[in-house]
Amino acid sequence: MNRQNTQKRITNYESRVTPTSVGFTVLLAVFAILFLFYPLGYIFKAAFWPNGGFTLEFFRLLFTSPFQLECLRNSVLLSIVITALTTVITLPVAHWFTRYSFPGKAILSGLLLVPMVLPPFVGAIGVKQVFARFGSLNLLLDKLGLVPLDNGIDWLGAGGFWGVVILGVLHVYPIMFLNVSAAMANVDPTLREAAENLGARGWRLFRTITLPLVMPGYFAGAIIVFIFAFTDLGTPLLIGYNRVVAVQIFDKIVEVGTNPFAYTLVILVLLVTLVLFFVSKKLTGEKSYEMMARGHTAGAETPAPPRLRWWIYGGTTALVLVSLLPHASVVIQSFASHWFMTILPDQVTTQFYGEVFHHPLTLSSIRNSLLYSSLSAFLDLILGVMIAWLLTRRRAPGANLLDAIAMLPLALPGIVLAFGYVAGFNIPVDPKHPPAAWYQWLHDFIDPSVNPTVLLVVSYSVRRLPYIVRAAVAGLQQTSVTLEEASLNLGASTFRTLRKITLPLVMANLIAGTILTFSFAMLEVSDSLILAMKEAYYPITKGIYQLIGRVDPNAPAVACALGVLGMVLLAASLLVASKALGKRMGQLFRA
């Protein structure tokens, strides 16, 4: 009898439907419907059915408005330029690091990824100080006698266009580098050897063999870069380049309940994002990129010639230094009590770091960010474990759909989701006619205009959920199920087995994924700027934005000090996560 019960438990553990799996599925479905599909559905309804009837009038107005067309052109042009420049930078660098071996390769490859953890929103503060018409760079060129200050170079050009481009490229090139280098590492080296035997060398070998085979990885990275540039809100907002779609959506938040035109802009951003993903799949799916064997680049690497080695050292070092320049200027400005018309500050102080912990706005923003990020990380941990367990330990119908929904936030711009929350959870209350107690409680609990805590936590969690899902799935796939079966043989229940056996075995993956969700939530931009409407609920990024816009001469330096503390916290969190995941850390950032 005991043997039959044990066998029944094992069968239930591996069966398609169990009470535990049903419960997890229902909870995940409710969460997805409420906080993912409902906000998106509300946006579509408000854009196409504003008054109960279907209309395309607002889309007609959008594409006939000269101002909105200019914003759309600027956003598209920004995305194209950033993607093109990122491609030019990363293709040769990825080729160097996958084709050749040289001393210090591991250190340089790690340094190349540093800009990815430095948010461009913070770097935008320093860009003005360095690249402005009378900024540090032009002052240095004037002092060296290269370019007179009267004819100084307008580095930010076209109202800040090139400033946004510089920050965008320097922030996202590591993502392209990870995707392209991973694709290059999987190229079968025998194909290159065969081409070399037929006389192909140098550029021809790269163009005819390597480049076509890495197209899937390249398009995956290029799509991410394009979407980031198209939907980025914080950088153009701080640079002052306001004629882009993302900033126009931000400006229309105050009209969310009265102006249906705002919804058409959000729909436009969402459609552009979805179309790009479909185009990417079509471009990479029409041709076959299969190889008889996947390459092992480490075995196929050749020692870099001395001349090429110096090109690699020089190019990589220059790229890293330029990438860190905006954030280095933020650090310098956080110590500057006076920095005007000089290359470096002529007076330094540490008082602004003291003000960060005494200023009412910065102190509350730090406290709020810690609260929001901790709660969102905990929520992601619960959801991530549920999803990963269903995907790897169950074969229930709908597993593919669940996997797709879990990864959907990667294709969903933050500005779209945040706008959907503002619109969908805006619960009206008539002060002349007090509502029922439950309705008033709901209004106070979830309406972002009253208290955005719930929606900020949820939005942070939804945006970063794919990271912890991928980390947990990777851990479970690498863990043998026999240990869990042994637990069932000894009479443990499914839930006890999950808690006592499964979770401890993948704890490193869960810790790393949780830290990632926490650290990135700390400096989340779009959700924070849009959802936090009252100063008492400002997170760090909204606090920085408000300080930069104040008349107080010390406010920008305090904002820089706050940004530096945020960067230190983010870097420390990612360092801990990388120690937990080791070499698998980069897998979380590959498309």
pLDDT per residue as tens, the chain (591 positions): 444 554 444 444 454 566 777 778 888 888 989 998 999 888 888 888 877 778 888 888 888 888 888 989 999 999 999 999 999 998 888 888 887 888 888 788 878 877 876 677 777 777 777 877 777 888 888 888 887 877 777 777 767 888 889 888 988 888 888 878 877 776 666 666 676 666 666 666 666 666 777 777 777 778 888 888 888 888 888 888 888 988 888 888 877 766 777 888 888 888 888 787 777 666 555 454 454 444 444 446 788 788 888 888 888 888 888 888 888 888 888 888 777 778 888 888 888 888 888 888 888 888 999 899 999 999 999 998 888 888 887 766 667 777 778 777 877 788 888 888 988 888 877 777 777 788 788 888 888 888 899 999 999 999 888 888 877 887 777 777 777 778 777 777 777 877 777 778 777 778 877 887 887 788 788 888 889 888 899 998 888 888 887 777 778 888 888 888 888 877 777 677 666 655 454 544 544
What's the CA gap between 273 and 224, in Å, rounded?
Answer: 9
Claim to verify: residue 302 and residue 331 sit in the same structural domain: yes
Report in angstroms the alpha-carbon separations of 285 from 176, 180, 201, 590: 20, 17, 28, 18
CA angle 318, 319, 320 (to 5 degrees): 95
**Pair 83, 195 in one domain:** yes
Determine the longest span between alpha carbons in the chain, in angstroms.
93
Overall number of domains in the chain: 2
Q: Are residues 363 and 338 in the same domain?
A: no
Q: Look at residue 51 and tell me if it is in a domain.
A: no
Does 472 reside within a domain? yes
Same domain, 197 and 271: yes
Query: Domain of 559: which CATH number?
Result: 1.10.3720.10
Establish if 496 belongs to a structural domain.
yes
Residues 34 and 177 in one domain: no
- Is 48 a domain residue? no
Cα dihedral 165→170→175→180 (10° resolution):
90
Question: Are 68 and 21 within one domain?
Answer: no
Quick one: 494 and 474 in the same domain?
A: yes
Range of the domain at 577: 1-42+351-427+437-591
Burial 155-173 (b: 16+ CB within 10 A, else e): bbeebbbbbbbbbbbbbbb
The verdict on residue 209 lying in a domain is yes
Name the token pair of 408: 């959907």
Which residue, of 349, 384, 416, is where some domain finishes?
349
- Asked if residue 27 and residue 64 are part of one domain, the reply reads no
Are residue 454 and residue 516 in the same domain, yes or no? yes
Question: Of 330, 349, 368, at which residue does a domain stop?
Answer: 349
Is residue 281 domain-shared with residue 382, that is, in the same domain? no
The residues pairing with 347 across neighbouring beta strands, listed in sequence order, are: 338
Q: Is 432 inside any structural domain? A: no
Whether residue 49 is contained in a domain is answered as no
Distance CA 179, CA 491 (A): 45
pTM: 0.80
- Select from 313, 330, 349 the last residue of a domain: 349
Co-location of 309 and 368 in the same domain: no
Q: Are residues 372 and 444 both part of a single domain?
A: yes
φ, ψ of residue 395 to 5 degrees: the values are -120, 45
Q: What is the dihedral of CA 331, 336, 341, 344, to 10 degrees?
A: -60
